[in-house]
Structure 1
Amino acid sequence: MSPGLDQNENWRMPAETEPHERAWMAWPSAAYTLGDTPSEADEAWTAWAEVANAVAAHEPLSMLVTAEGRAEAQRRLAGDIELHECELDDAWYRDSGPTFVVGNHGLGAVNWVFNGWGQQEWARWEFDAYASEVATTASGAARIASALVNEGGGLHTDGEGTFLVTETVQLDPERNPGWTKAGVEAELARRVGARKVIWLPRGLTRDSATYGTRGHVDIVATFTAPGEVLIHDQRSEEHPDHAVMAEIRSVLASSVDAAGRPLRLTELPAPKTLTDEHGFVDYSYVNHFAVNGAVIACSFDDPNDDEALDVLAGAYPGRTIVPVGARVLFARGGGVHCITQQQPALPGGNA
């Protein structure tokens, strides 16, 4: 099938829990990810490498890397990780990479418009606006162009047509001026097979601040199976996300999925850590990555780590829970899920 010829293809975005052909990431190179000192750069490279090597222990992994970053990546990454050299602005490939779908004739890759999380003044996207082309081409997927400004961290699906999104992302006037809910839903139906879109009012508080995404859903809630949703549970009334999550919980509790099933909510505790030097944190165990046979989970060296990992083990029976340090990632604006992207296995594949 020729790239871009996606009409009448019946594209479907599989659930993250379905088998993967491989995963995709990008190696950090931008100053606002690497920091201002050699020690800060070392922290970033160490954090990305820990996630990459954990993923690669369970499924093939491809890594985008700049020419300048190749040597450092090769020094830190497992030898079987495939490197793709290209220009990059940053390393949040969940957002700048494609959203993979499957259709009547094989694999598709939705190339959303990427504009630096709503034209954030600190962001650069000269190269990241085209970074999705790397995985699209290398995977052999049919390229599916979308006019919607969107990021992979801005949606979650159960694989059966139910999607979670937030009003503050898809309806952001700096992303999609003039778009309505109906228009977004129609585009999601065409490109990723959405049959029911559940609109959450917003994301977490820190994520709505200067260096956030304005409300990505992937630190708020996720599907573990059709009808089953893990939800961020900020228990401290001191934290503004306590009220935010009460509103989101209410929306989810009154929603049904594409098959008409009420959603069963499982609360995943927020870390006990409430603040850092910049204010209230948005640390979230929801921001994990389900890979073949395992879950790569955020760990915060926090008293709630053990409880959260136990909840994840119960939510993903049969999968190994692999904790990786996430404080360094969140200090730079994201977590494990934000830096990873799955390429689903096609029916009859070996994954």
Structure 2
Amino acid sequence: MVPQPIHPRSAHRQNPRQKPLPGPGAGTRDTNVNTNIALIGGKLCAVVESGNLPIELDYELESVRRTDFDGTLEAGFTGHAKYDPATGEQHALAYEPSQPVRYISVGRDGRATTKARIDLPHTPMIHDTAFTEAFIVVPDFPVTFQPQRGHTNFPYLWDESRPSRIGLLPRDGDVSRLQWFEAPRCYAFHFVNAFDDGDLTIIDLPKHPSMFRTDQNGPNEGAPILVRWTLDRNTGRLSETLIDDRGNDFPRINGRMSGRSYRYAYTAHWGDMVRFGPAMKHDLQRGTTEVHDYGRGLMTSEPVFVHKPGAKEEDEGWIISSVYDPASHRSSIVILEAQDFSGAPIATIPLPVRVPFTFHGGWVPDRDVASLV
């Protein structure tokens, strides 16, 4: 249910009946791009991790061309670049076999700068990252590239010999000052947010007990819990605090708070046996959680926050998500008032199809994609 990286040696190539896409990477970085859509340098791009190039989209979300950001992208990209509202940058950690982990910054002009190459003794699966005003969060969890051990065509597996650790890389990319912290043995697909507080760095994330250890076909090894990791940069130690243990993933926040101290997080329920259901709003200041139940049997995906024009409060906005109805095998777009989270939806837009849970969601106003119209 969570997007999985596609390795070039095992991916399905473009449908041969379709016209090949123009752009760089033909024959090497041109396989499936199926995780997310991001606005990068004023262009909508479909993106994925583990080696393939982004694909530019038009206003109707049709594929236009593969892109390496005007030749500035050294190798592959990621499915989870994080936008910094203070600088206009997209921060990305890119990984793929036989390559160092790259910290990439993409500017407002859509050009990429590789700020750091992080050489590791293995290739960890890095689905997401987070950033603070001073650091890039570098996850190194025990899911690594092991094609020789796989029983499926998915080459990333749990590695019992590897510990879990989390790194703080200065945003200037100085790898000599990369600080590692021992972390609980786990896996995390996503990060909620991160921020600095004096000598401490705070990281919030949904923590899975393990991943691709007993089930190589999917993320089915126990419900993830929402936790806060506090990294003391003076002592080099990490401590963990539980935020919510009811099963949480696909986190989103008010994007204006990215990399900074914040109060509210929104997650989709992820229970045992990969069961989805309601959405949750977490008040990290009060330590409370509010639940929105979409109805019997209905399952929400990622709850995207959209702030209202002129909003002054952090939670002054709407929650938009795709909600699946197994009875009809169709999805609807459901819109909630974020400040009346458990109340009735303000709009429900039925769709003629099912939207897979493997897809991330996002909101881009027309004014930001005017050049694509």
Q: Which structure has the larger Rg over C-alpha atoms? A: 2
The higher relative CO (CA closer than 8 Å, separation ≥ 6) is in 1
TM-score > 0.5 by shorter chain: no
Whichever structure has more strand as a proportion of its residues is: 2
Normalised by the length of structure 1, the TM-score is: 0.41
